[in-house]
Amino acid sequence: MKVVIQKLNGLWHLVIGSYQIRTPFPATQDRALVVTYARRAYPGAKIFQRD
């Protein structure tokens, strides 16, 4: 499974397939926190960042 981390509309989003999941973290928050959140929510997934 691939999880893409992306900034949209001032928030971090997780993009999984055709689904976009909004996280509770603003875009000003550190990306490492969002990566940790994604790893807990989707263990074993490959995580990528899109700018």
* pLDDT tens digits for range 12-28: 999 999 999 999 999 99
| Residue 10 confidence (pLDDT) above 90 | yes
| Residue 51 confidence (pLDDT) above 70 | no
Strand partners, 5: 14, 49
pLDDT attached to residue 32: 93
| Residue 35 confidence (pLDDT) above 80 | yes
pTM across the whole model: 0.84
